[in-house]
Amino acid sequence: MTRNVAIIGTGHSKFGVRTDVNLQELAWEAIKQALEEANLEQKDIEYYTVGNMGLWSSEELPAPIVGEYSELTPKGTMRVEAACATGSAALRDAYLAVKSGEVDIAMAIGVEQMHQSKTPTVVELLGRAGNYFWEFENFGLTFPGYFALYATAYMNKYGLKEEDLGEIAIKAHHYGSLNPYAHLQKEITMKEYLNSKPVAWPLKLLDCSPITDGAAAIILASEDVAKKITDSPVWILSQGVASGPANISKRNDFTSMETTRYAAEIAYKKAKISKEDAWKYFDVAEVHDCFTIAEIIAYEDLGFAKRGEGVNLAREKQTYIGGKIPVNVDGGLKAKGHPIGATGISMNVTLARQLLYRAPNKHMQAEIKNGMAVAHNLGGTGHYAYVTILSTRRPEYVG
């Protein structure tokens, strides 16, 4: 038995340097908001999953710690990890629990408190997330270094300029300045971007997502239950998942992420969407922009632009609200922040609220015509990819 699954409650903490709370208090900010939105109590949650990478945190067992503090125990739980796609992995686990008929109501929670460790430690631990012995130990690659390889490859093949990356950063900071949940709430200019400190050429400080603390939560329900709780469910129409080789030397193309293309193919097929016309279906999108180059590559891998033409969307400002397809209108990872375990859930919180005209700022609200949105969450440098399609229209089938 498989069933349609709806989002019935969403929660989101303030992202940033959250040393004012501990891990479980941070998670509770999002959980409490989601419960209130769904008009449910903790006893109504039959299963909860916690996305947390947690290498930098003091708590080794975040799921029961969060569950105990939030009064979700003794319901079943597990901690989920998929690098930067951890949040989407947690969402998938809760989604499958409801979809399979195992439970009627489940909650996906993502939480990360990265500032429990110092910045050099966090940078090192992230760098270890590639192929440790070959890439980190022998060549000292950090994550900015990994994505700099993609940026230079794209420059050489398609003529990308530093100013094109700057357009992505400027857009992110514009929408981040409007988002009360965002880590970085300040607009930037092209001059400020070009003058920002180099990190791994051509990537500068303003090309990089910040080290962030934050939490997000989503409550899911089966169709029968959702109808009793809300008259405005947002359906998970489909989800595609993929994995890639740990060693980047085994990759043939550094201008594209094969895992994104594969995950998108699965999600689009289930949702009966043509990848060639994907941008026509979606009113708004969230894509993984841990670094500015990643957003441009995602445009192409998701079918918003042809290969080599994603840069034109940036140059022509076609991913602002009112453009061809609004992307990351909450500031994205670049300005909203990238608390690893919360990121994927945060993306889907943003999109669910967008589809229901509940953006936290009216200037962040996209026009909703088709009632569909897509979230793209990358783990590592393409080690994982999750593509999730949301819709306000009830699925005619179970994908």
| Separation between Cα atoms, residue 290 and residue 148, nearest integer Å | 12
Catalytic residue (one of 84, 173, 183, 376): 84
Active site residue 183: no
Which regions of 205-243 does DSSP assign to beta strands (E)? 213-222, 234-243
Residue with tokens 């857009």: 171
Strand bridging mode 198-200 / 203-204: antiparallel
Active site residue 338: yes
| Separation between Cα atoms, residue 87 and residue 93, nearest integer Å | 10
| Chain-centroid distance, C-alpha 61 | 23
What does the chain come to in residues? 399
Catalytic residue (one of 115, 288, 338, 383): 338
Amino acid at 258: E
| Separation between Cα atoms, residue 110 and residue 187, nearest integer Å | 27
Helix (H) or strand (E) holding 113, with range, is strand 105-113
Residue with tokens 């990358």: 378
| Separation between Cα atoms, residue 61 and residue 78, nearest integer Å | 9
End-to-end CA distance of the chain: 12
| Separation between Cα atoms, residue 201 and residue 199, nearest integer Å | 6
Query: To 5 degrees, how large is the angle CA 397–CA 354–CA 286?
Result: 80
CA distances (Å), origin 124, targets 114, 121, 143, 336? 12, 5, 9, 22
Catalytic residue annotation:
84, 338
